[in-house]
Structure 1
Amino acid sequence: MKHLLYIGNKLARNGSNPTAIDTLGPLLEKEGFKISYASTKSNKIMRLLDMMRTACFTRKVDYVLIDTYSTTNFWYAFVVSRICNLRNLRYIPILHGGNLPQRWLTHPKSCKLLFHQAYRNVCPSPYLLQAFEALACPNLRLIPNALEGSHYFFKERRSVKPKLLWVRAFAEIYNPTMAVQVLDRLVKEFPDAELCMVGPDKDGSLEKTKQLAQDLGLKVTFPGQLSKSAWGQLSEQYDIFITTTHFDNMPVSVIEAMSLGLAVVSTNVGGIPFLIEEGEEGLLVADNDVQAMCDAIQFLVNNPIGFIEITKKARNKAACFEWEKVKEKWITIFNNP
């Protein structure tokens, strides 16, 4: 039995959105791998210290998986990679940050140490694979984020209403206030339009978004943090999934929405156009273009046949991310040193 050490932000039990570590870890455990984790600490300094301690003292580790982001959490991965290098442990950064190519340009020395000395660099999206190939990063592998397909019930919607669902952490990077601005314009055309925004607060953006909705006199539902199963059930009450992010990699929430039969309207940023072909599996608009997103939603509401075609194609695309189709790529890495 191979022993994996998985380093990441394992904070779902503390009220944060589940991240890759909360999904991939249990899936690998089901395949027979023994996995140790770090960290569940909410405080960032304590989390870093816990990651460092775990990386220093966990024994008999075959591989270290490191969730790697482009924000300040990048430094967790960098520090852990240096410990792995000193201990001669094979470590595998899993590239989640949509802005990692820019991080490489601003911190080239740190990125070269982290990625050039890695055993493998796993890219969940063709977007980051392409960007890192252009940066001459070695040992790249494309392994998509995985879903357990049995957890997602595809609901075929025959009539379409402007009932919008937004699922993400409330953070400036994800531009949640744009969703409220979209609703504000949409109700002028569709007075029955609705918006539900699911997720925990990250940087104070939740209160800012609530205040904007209140100032505009809009009724927006904020159920807070929900489990995957809970928001999956909630999704049956909505028809259109919107994502307003400024930049991103390949968000699992979008793949989940595609699996659930929601039509996706997203900003055309980062890795999203590598996941959704415009007009095929969803509709894409320019970053922060409120009117374009309203127009896209209006198109879906007024074209139910087009809506059905888009959601069926999206479901077929999402099937490519099911664990049964992804797991062999991971097993190949672990079994072929």
Structure 2
Amino acid sequence: MAVEGYKGLRLAVVGPLPPPSGGMANQCKQLIGLLEGEGAQVELVRTNAPYQPAWAGKLPGLRALFRLVPYLFALWRAAGRCQVMHVLANSGWAWHLFAAPAIWIARLRGTPVIVNYRGGEAQPFFAAAPRWVHRTLASASMLVVPSAFLDGVFRDFGFKPVIVPNIINLERFGLPKSGESDAPPHVVVTRNLEPIYDIPTVLSAFSRILPHLPGARLTIAGSGPELARLEALAVELKIADAVRFAGRIDNEQIPALYASADLMINPSTVDNMPISILEAFASRVPVVSTDVGGVPFIAEHGRTALLVPARDPRQMAEAMLDLLVHKDKACRMSEAAREEVKQYAWQVIGAKWRVAYQRAISQQG
């Protein structure tokens, strides 16, 4: 189903692309494809473009310069050719190196600029940021956030964001279950191996349910600096034979992973609007998640997911066991979640972006 009003619209999208796969990179790639499919002319300014020449990426301290200079030139050219610039933004150095320059250059060239802020750590970043960071954001034509959680964060700082949620391609998910109905349960985690995603709590919780569900398997699909420590913890907990560290799985293969799963766990300690939860919803996979950040805004405890406190392996294990044992309850919850996630389909979100682009252009005029 097409979204009217895009044909001939000239857009510059500033953001990352896979690899590596990640929430922002995958959303950026998906958004560009959908916009072009509606007839928009999209120019990508990539924030994680390969180093030119390639050997520059091996020079600590200088490699940022080799990426930044071409990036600034690309921004200048794109801002002069587009009707509106759409900047996917995050906290920390990503803000200073990529988002802020894009806003400044767009304003210098008189181009409307939408800041699409997506970071789960917005509150501590902007609370500690110098005043010029706030002034830079305030100079954008529009601030767009994907969740009511981030909307509340930015309103506390005096901004008035517009909410346009993340996009889920429902046609990609909901594949037929790939395992047998009486097979031992398969639990999946699709977060990177970084401290904020707290994979140790999942391992500890899984060790608690394994005696009740012999043969259960846990697949952790992600990469990161914590791999060696997590592998050692799995050995220490005596669950190594039941745990597979699958590494980073390409985004095209994620639907098949969910089709093999009986339960998805989101253990993060900081989060905004995790795509992994929405993908599990779309795949009719029951979800147990921590109740941090923006998660309660997209998952309703007891109706579409079970929410537990962060860093609590006992409560996480109880929730996991509840859904793996009581299959009727898990089925009702996953069907409710599938209905819930329809609000993130392109037909809905694409119309919201069209309104945002037109509003930014008219305000600039």
User: TM (normalized to structure 1)?
Assistant: 0.91
Q: Check whether the contact 2:263–2:324 (CA below 8 A) recurs between aligned residues.
A: no
Distance 1:294 1:164 in 2: 12
Distance 2:150 2:129 in 1: 17
Match of 2:135 in 1: 113
Distance 2:71 2:310 in 1: 35
Unaligned residue ranges in structure 1 (runs of 5+): none
The structure having more radius of gyration, on CA atoms, is: 2
Unaligned residue ranges in structure 2 (runs of 5+): 1-7, 51-56, 58-62
Match of 2:29 in 1: 22
Match of 2:71 in 1: 51
Distance 2:116 2:204 in 1: 34
The reply to whether residue 257 of structure 1 matches residue 288 of structure 2 is: no
Match of 2:207 in 1: 184
Distance 1:195 1:50, change over 3 A: farther
Greater mean deviation of Cα atoms: 112-121 or 14-23: 14-23
Greater mean deviation of Cα atoms: 256-265 or 298-307: 298-307
Distance 2:213 2:76 in 1: 58
Paired residue for 1:164, among 187, 195, 204? 187
Offset, 1:277: 0.8
Paired residue for 1:151, among 158, 162, 172? 172
Q: Check whether the contact 1:96–1:124 (CA below 8 A) recurs between aligned residues.
A: yes
Match of 1:240 in 2: 263
Q: Check whether the contact 1:176–1:209 (CA below 8 A) recurs between aligned residues.
A: yes
Offset, 1:63: 1.3
Offset, 1:270: 0.7
Offset, 1:258: 0.5
- Give the total of aligned pairs: 332
Distance 2:118 2:33 in 1: 18
Offset, 1:25: 1.6
Q: Check whether the contact 2:148–2:163 (CA below 8 A) recurs between aligned residues.
A: yes
Distance 2:175 2:260 in 1: 13
Misfit runs of 4+, over 6 Å:
156-160
Distance 1:47 1:293 in 2: 42
Offset, 1:47: 4.2
The reply to whether residue 267 of structure 1 matches residue 267 of structure 2 is: no
Match of 1:101 in 2: 123
Q: Check whether the contact 1:161–1:239 (CA below 8 A) recurs between aligned residues.
A: no
Offset, 1:107: 0.6
Q: Check whether the contact 2:175–2:255 (CA below 8 A) recurs between aligned residues.
A: no
Match of 2:304 in 1: 281
Distance 1:279 1:88 in 2: 49
Partner SS, residue 147 of structure 1: coil
Q: Check whether the contact 1:279–1:310 (CA below 8 A) recurs between aligned residues.
A: yes
Distance 1:248 1:300, change over 3 A: same
Greater mean deviation of Cα atoms: 278-287 or 80-89: 80-89
User: TM (normalized to structure 2)?
Assistant: 0.84
The reply to whether residue 79 of structure 1 matches residue 101 of structure 2 is: yes
Greater mean deviation of Cα atoms: 25-34 or 47-56: 47-56
Q: Check whether the contact 1:41–1:50 (CA below 8 A) recurs between aligned residues.
A: no
Q: Which amino acid aligns with 2:172?
A: H
